[in-house]
Amino acid sequence: MNELLNIILRAIFTENLALAYLLGMCTFLAVSQRVQTAIGLGIAVIFVQTITVPLNQLVFNFLLAPGALSWAGLGHLDLGYMRFIVFIGIIAAFIQVLEQVLDRYFPDLHHALGIYLPLLTVNCAILGASLFMVQRDFGFAQSLAFGFGSGAGWALAIIMFAAIRERLRCCDVPRGLEGHGVAFVVMGILAIGFLGLRGVAF
Amino acid sequence: MTKGKPGGNNLLDPITASNPVTVHVLGLCSALAVSISVVPALIMSAAVIGVLVFSNVLVSLLRHAMPHSIRLVIEVTLIATAVAVVDEVLKAFAPDVSEVLSVFVGLIITNCIVLARVENFAMHNGPWASFLDAVGNGLGYSWVLILVAALRELLGTGTLLYQPVPGLQPSSGWFQPSEFMQLTPSAFFLMALIIWLLNRVPGRHPEESPTRNQDDRQGDA
Amino acid sequence: MSSVKPESTARTLVFAGAVALGCALIISATVYWLRPLQVAAGASSYMHAVINAAALVAAGQTLDEREILARFQQFDVRILDLETGTFTREVNPSRFDYREQFEAGQRSQPRFMPVYLLRDGQEIHCAVLPFYAQGMWSAIHGFVALSEDLTTIRGVAIYEHGETPGIGDRIQAPEWLRQWQGKRIYGSNGEYLFRISARPDDAAARYTVDAITGATVTVSAVDQAMARWFGDEGYAPLLAELRRAP
């Protein structure tokens, strides 16, 4: 149990996908003008991460990993090299299905999250979490914890960033730094803050 | 943005005036994560150029046959194929660098530059123009990445391409390499610095065209 | 989007199928063609790490594959049975990869480990011992090379890890690994004294390597792994035996 809690804590604080690995930056910069939208996007990321990382873990372990096909008498195969296509396919398909389901049964939720969902297919953080899962040999429970933790960490980072950016709008930013320039400075300072949390663990 | 221009501009524009990284802030995820030292940055640049050229040219060739309803899926599949091939090639010919780049090669799939170029350019232009556009955007991405990496390696460890640089050595130099440059926040600050310098170049006002940025971002989705 | 053609479901399906098949073929062909090269490259980088640990080449000198193989062949490769603490002939050293034991679920305690010895006549001149640690996320694999007294560290190499870039991955930095050279693992009575510590201690300086700022998890993982591998459960009995009778 402690191990899973540690994975969650590390994924949120010490190894924040956005601030330590710089993943998902495109979406991060594009959709962080207002806190409201950042919260919506953050929740969508948590949701998608928590499902796609364990889902990809199952697919990887039962179809792609070396020897994974032994149940079909094909134990000598190693299809690990197919993981890029398979993972991105699963993520894209899952997001499509999720959108349809939300649209059909939870129109309110769809209205709130719907516009962000398609963005997430090409969010590096989503694919990155699944690739880290393979590299780190996570089991199913660990994948679940890591998916949730890394999603929550990303959400935390973008919400904080959006809140600061809202304030920045009424600031007098030096010429040439307006817009993206000052956004990078803010992210750097946030990342320094997160460096201070490196020792966090159970 | 979506019109084919004479060859020269397709190649040169994205390197400077409409640089994908500094002007449109696309494709940063992988750009900054591998910018700790120059060698991985060089290999990463080559990988991104390879993937861009492969997918841009292929999509451009298939653009008339491609059913509109599934074009995004097809584009992503082609990009993922190119990335898988590049990853295998790296593992075979540069195993050490492949180890350093770890998951970031795979993340080229979600590099917004690639999908944005495929969707916004290759879908509307011929293979030759798409090839030039791919090389141009790849180089535009590369020079920023390599510059950031060179600064971080020089100031962070006192080496360049893993070779010690006289004057920057901890024992004898006039500059004490700072560990901070090896940590992620330094990448953000350097990016801010580069954007600021480019914005201060007379006659350049990249921020003045928000509508164009908007178009590119929709390409991400 | 100017020239959208009329599309039928059948045509869409055929197109999607063709692209999927084409992509699968491209990737499979690449892998089929490159797999032998990758296996060779993997073996080569493993051997290179052993050579680097033993400090057989000057820093900055690069070796091509043939030179790596030639140098690696100078080593006398033995397989250690950790249960008995002696060399065994049960396992064929030439085809042995200790990491293959993990798949069977023995990650914490493998039974067999390879040991690479450089001999000067009968005397052991250098011994390279593999070790691994459970790092922040995934296993860290490396080698420690000992000098002829089988106590002093001659060199270290880390050849596989998944630590955080810029933080934990500095365990691979040559500047840090160079510090290990000349440190002693065992005291005069053979007791384990080696430590990686953030607090400098002059009395124990010859046994202590400085920790890396910020990389607490990674460094303490390596520290604990060293204590396990060079303790009584690991290589200590073998090393004591070799010191008596090489």
Domain count, chain B: 1
The reported pLDDT for the residue numbered B87 is 92
Percent of chain B with pLDDT over 90: 26
* Chains with at least 3 CB pairs less than 8 angstroms from chain A: B, C
Nearest to A82 among C27, C138, C214 (CB): C27
The reported pLDDT for the residue numbered C106 is 46
Contacts of B74 in chain C (CB under 8 A): 15-16, 19
Reduced 3-state DSSP string for chain B: CCCCCCHHHHHHHHHCCCCCCCCCCCCHHHHHHCCCCHHHHHHHHHHHHHHHHHHHHHHHHHCCCCCHHHHHHHHHHHHHHHHHHHHHHHHHHCHHHHHHHHHHCHHHHHCHHHHHHHHHCHHHCCHHHHHHHHHHHHHHHHHHHHHHHHHHHHHHHCEECCEECCCCCCCCCCCCCCHHHHCHHHHHHHHHHHHHHHHHCCCCCHHHCHHHHHHHHHHHC
Q: Do the Cβ atoms of A85 and B81 come within 8 Å? A: yes
CA distance C137 to chain A (A): 6
| Among B88, A128, A74, B97, CA closest to C27 | B88
User: Among A81-90, B81-90, C43-52, C57-66, which is the least confidently predicted range?
Assistant: C57-66
Q: Do the Cβ atoms of C27 and B88 come within 8 Å? A: yes
Q: Rounded to the nearest 5°, which phi and psi values hold at C155?
A: 180, 165
Average pLDDT score, chain A = 85
- Residue A191 and residue B190: Cα distance in Å, rounded? 14
The reported pLDDT for the residue numbered B207 is 46
Domain boundaries, chain A: 2-195
Q: Would the pTM count as exceeding 0.90?
A: no
Contacts of A198 in chain C (CB under 8 A): 167, 214, 216
Q: Is C4 helix (H, G, I), strand (E, B) or coil?
A: coil
- Residue B169 and residue B159: Cα distance in Å, rounded? 8
State which residues form the domain around B69: 7-149
Q: Is B33 part of a structural domain of the chain?
A: yes
Q: What is the pLDDT of residues A133-164, one digit of tens each?
A: 988 888 899 999 999 999 999 999 999 999 99
The reported pLDDT for the residue numbered B215 is 38
The reported pLDDT for the residue numbered A160 is 93
Q: What is the pLDDT of residues C42-85, one digit of tens each?
A: 888 888 888 888 888 776 677 788 888 888 888 888 888 888 88
Nearest to A92 among B27, B76, B187 (CB): B76
Mean pLDDT along residues B31-60: 89
Reported confidence tier of residue A180, pLDDT bands at 50, 70, 90: confident
The reported pLDDT for the residue numbered A202 is 59
- Decide if B139 contacts B131 (C-beta within 8 A): no
The reported pLDDT for the residue numbered A54 is 95
CA distance A109 to chain B (A): 19
Q: Is B125 part of a structural domain of the chain?
A: yes
Mean pLDDT along residues A123-130: 89
The reported pLDDT for the residue numbered A112 is 72
**B51–chain C Cβ distance below 8 A for any pair:** no
Point out which residues pair with C155 in neighbouring strands: C145
Please tell me the total number of residues recorded for chain A in this structure.
202
Average pLDDT score, chain B = 80
- Residue A19 and residue A156: Cα distance in Å, rounded? 10
CA distance A47 to chain C (A): 23
The reported pLDDT for the residue numbered B213 is 40
- Residue A183 and residue A165: Cα distance in Å, rounded? 7
The reported pLDDT for the residue numbered C103 is 56
Percent of chain A with pLDDT over 90: 27
Q: What is the pLDDT of residues C157-201, one digit of tens each?
A: 988 887 776 677 788 888 888 888 888 999 888 888 898 888 777
Question: Is residue A183 over pLDDT 50?
Answer: yes
Q: Do the Cβ atoms of B25 and A25 come within 8 Å? A: yes
- Residue B139 and residue B141: Cα distance in Å, rounded? 5
User: Among B29-33, B72-76, C190-194, which is the least confidently predicted range?
Assistant: B29-33
Q: Is B206 part of a structural domain of the chain?
A: no
Mean pLDDT along residues B188-214: 67
Question: Is residue A32 over pLDDT 70?
Answer: yes
Domain boundaries, chain C: 76-244
User: Among A87-96, B3-12, C121-130, which is the least confidently predicted range?
Assistant: B3-12
Residue B39 amino acid letter: V
Residue with tokens 């943005």: B1
Q: What is the pLDDT of residues A45-76, one digit of tens each?
A: 999 999 999 999 999 988 887 777 777 777 67
Reported confidence tier of residue B82, pLDDT bands at 50, 70, 90: very high
**C20–chain B Cβ distance below 8 A for any pair:** yes
Question: Is residue B216 over pLDDT 70?
Answer: no
The reported pLDDT for the residue numbered A196 is 79
- Residue C208 and residue C237: Cα distance in Å, rounded? 22
The reported pLDDT for the residue numbered C4 is 47
